[in-house]
């Protein structure tokens, strides 16, 4: 999202169209994919794998269609998938959730986030968001009617192994208007994995201000260098005020299936289910059946996934460093945020356009992750959810950057 460009709406359109829609632009990330296609560039922008999804999951989807699971599922999700979500959550977090009253299956985590926000936000409510942030959270706040309050994640300095936030700054962002804080761990775009002691700071503020925590855990299985995922639901006092957002998309390499879910206390789930029902009715029924099988994959699937992504992370770190980028090494998720100040471009958008059109590699301008575009003007995000031949081609093309002068 680029709020700066969002004001460019003609006067007549301004009166006929939604004021909310006028406040944001189309997704910069998705636009970069279209530019990559138009220029035949290697696409290291949008976070979708270019390798195959697991064979057994694809077979389960085909089988579900053959078995004629082709009509609407229960609006809040097929029972088989909700049971599998509850079982996996209990296995991982040692917490029992009730699949009948605490889960809503949605069209991807994108819809799960939107339905959750629409279920809890009233006019005048504020939502705290760590910045840089996954660009959807800006429009999500506007569409649900919340005012976002941004709190900066600072890049690692000497002695830090990860991005950090200032506890006082976070505390100042909370007020009696705060309805929720949005957390994304492991984090897109920084790769930060929030530690228990950081979650406890957030927990204390949520309890003090009666706020919800919405935690987007879509990259929960992509962890490196000993990073550990702590789900906020496991913290004392957070069971009743946490909404967990997750999806099949990243863990099972099926971003196009559009199956995600929200886990929330029963009262909150009732509201999420109502919003969800009238927004989309339900996620694709046969793919929900395949999801039930996916969530029961053995532990070895997740450890293999993490080690494959570690190898890809290290490969892309090497390529980018070799091309002259200063990289922030991620401890989770599948992105590398870079500092581009070495290259002498006026801003990230100019550099991203040069990379796509002249070098043939697409990345996402850093400004799309900030409320004020100037804050990300010397950053660029690359994804490493790609196969080796993609890396090899990107490496060849990026070598041209070095010789540029």
In angstroms, give the least distance from the CB of 10 to ligand PLP: 31
Query: Quick check: 218 binds ligand PLP (CB under 6 A)?
Result: yes
> How many alpha carbons fall within 13 Å on the CB side of residue 4?
13
Query: Quick check: 247 binds ligand PLP (CB under 6 A)?
Result: yes
Query: Are the beta carbons of 76 and 89 closer than 8 angstroms?
Result: no
Residue of 49, 99, 108, 373 interacting with ligand PLP (CB under 6 A): 108
Residue 393 corresponds to which tokens in the numbers above?
């081609």
In angstroms, give the least distance from the CB of 347 to ligand PLP: 23
Pick between residue 111 and residue 126 the one whose CB is nearest to ligand PLP. Answer: 111
In angstroms, give the least distance from the CB of 207 to ligand PLP: 25
In angstroms, give the least distance from the CB of 333 to ligand PLP: 7
Residue given tokens 């796509």 in the structure block: 356
Query: Quick check: 49 binds ligand PLP (CB under 6 A)?
Result: no
Instruction: Give the binding range for ligand PLP (CB under 6 A) out of 3-11, 61-69, 104-112, 143-151.
Output: 104-112
Query: Quick check: 216 binds ligand PLP (CB under 6 A)?
Result: yes
Query: Quick check: 104 binds ligand PLP (CB under 6 A)?
Result: no
Query: Which of the residues 130 through 169 are near ligand PLP (CB under 6 A)?
Result: 134
Instruction: Give the binding range for ligand PLP (CB under 6 A) out of 11-19, 37-45, 103-111, 236-244.
Output: 103-111
Binding-site residue total for ligand PLP (CB under 6 A)? 13
Query: Quick check: 188 binds ligand PLP (CB under 6 A)?
Result: yes
Residue of 104, 110, 185, 253 interacting with ligand PLP (CB under 6 A): 110
Query: Quick check: 253 binds ligand PLP (CB under 6 A)?
Result: no
Pick between residue 80 and residue 184 the one whose CB is nearest to ligand PLP. Answer: 184
In angstroms, give the least distance from the CB of 45 to ligand PLP: 11
In angstroms, give the least distance from the CB of 18 to ligand PLP: 22
SS3 readout for the chain: CCHHHHCCCCHHHHHHCCCCHHHCCCCHHHHHHHHHHHCCCEECCCCCCCCCCCHHHHHHHHHHHHCCCCCCCCCCCCHHHHHHHHHHHHHHHCCCCCCCCCEEEECHHHHHHHHHHHHHCCCCCEEEEEECCCCCHHHHHHHHCCEEEEEECECCCCCCCCCECCHHHHHHHCCCCEEEEEEECCCCCCCCCCCHHHHHHHHHHHHHHCCEEEEECCCCCCECCCCCCCCHHHCCCCCCCEEEEEECCCCCCCHHHCCEEEECCHHHHHHHHHHHHHHHCCCCHHHHHHHHHHCCCCHHHHHHHHHHHHHHHHHHHHHHHHCCCEEECCCECCEEEEECHHHCCCCHHHHHHHHHHHHCEECEEHHHHCCCHHHHCCEEEEECCCCHHHHHHHHHHHHHHHCCC
Instruction: Give the binding range for ligand PLP (CB under 6 A) out of 59-67, 107-115, 171-179, 385-393.
Output: 107-115
Query: Quick check: 44 binds ligand PLP (CB under 6 A)?
Result: no
Query: Are the beta carbons of 106 and 312 closer than 8 angstroms?
Result: no
Mask of contacts with ligand PLP, 259-298, x by CB under 6 A?
Answer: -x--------------------------------------
Residue 122 corresponds to which tokens in the numbers above?
């009233």
Mask of contacts with ligand PLP, 306-345, x by CB under 6 A?
Answer: ----------------------------------------
Instruction: Give the binding range for ligand PLP (CB under 6 A) out of 102-110, 174-182, 279-287, 364-372.
Output: 102-110
**Which residues of this chain interact with ligand PLP, rule CB under 6 A?**
47, 108-110, 134, 184, 188, 216, 218, 247, 249, 255, 260
């Amino acid at each position: 999202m680029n709020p700066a460009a969002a004001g460019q709406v003609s006067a007549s359109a301004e009166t006929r169209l939604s004021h909310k829609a006028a406040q944001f632009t189309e997704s910069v990330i998705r636009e970069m994919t279209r530019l990559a296609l138009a220029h035949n560039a290697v696409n290291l922008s949008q976070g979708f794998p270019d390798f195959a999804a697991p064979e057994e999951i694809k077979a389960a989807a085909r089988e579900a269609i053959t078995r004629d699971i082709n009509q609407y599922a229960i609006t809040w999700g097929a029972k088989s998938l909700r049971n599998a979500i509850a079982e996996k959550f209990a296995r991982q977090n040692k917490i029992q959730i009730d699949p009948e009253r605490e889960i809503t299956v949605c069209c991807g985590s994108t819809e799960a986030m939107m339905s959750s926000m629409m279920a809890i936000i009233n006019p005048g409510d504020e939502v705290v968001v760590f910045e840089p942030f996954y660009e959807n959270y800006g429009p999500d706040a506007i569409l649900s009617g919340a005012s976002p309050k941004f709190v900066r994640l600072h890049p690692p300095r000497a002695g830090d192994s990860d991005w950090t936030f200032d506890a006082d700054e976070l505390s100042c962002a909370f007020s009696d208007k705060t309805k929720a804080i949005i957390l994304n761990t492991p984090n897109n775009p920084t790769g930060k994995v929030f530690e228990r002691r950081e979650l406890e700071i957030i927990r204390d503020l949520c309890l003090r201000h009666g706020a919800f925590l919405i935690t987007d855990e879509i990259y929960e299985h992509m962890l490196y260098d000993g990073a550990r995922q702590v789900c906020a639901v496991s913290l004392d006092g957070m069971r009743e005020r946490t909404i967990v957002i997750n999806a099949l998309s990243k863990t099972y390499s099926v971003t196009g299936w559009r199956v995600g879910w929200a886990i929330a206390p029963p009262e909150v789930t009732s509201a999420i289910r109502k919003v969800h029902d009238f927004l989309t009715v339900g996620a694709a029924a046969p793919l929900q059946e395949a999801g039930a099988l996916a969530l029961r994959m053995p532990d070895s699937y997740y450890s293999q996934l993490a080690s494959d992504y570690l190898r890809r992370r290290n490969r892309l770190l090497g390529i980018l460093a070799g091309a002259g980028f200063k990289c922030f090494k991620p401890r989770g998720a599948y992105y590398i945020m870079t500092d581009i100040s070495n290259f002498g471009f006026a801003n990230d958008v100019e550099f991203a356009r040069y990379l796509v059109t002249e070098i043939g590699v697409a990345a996402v301008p850093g400004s799309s992750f900030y409320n004020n575009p100037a804050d990300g003007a010397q950053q660029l995000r690359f994804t490493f959810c790609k196969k080796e031949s993609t890396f090899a081609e990107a490496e060849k093309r990026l070598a041209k950057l070095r010789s540029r002068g």
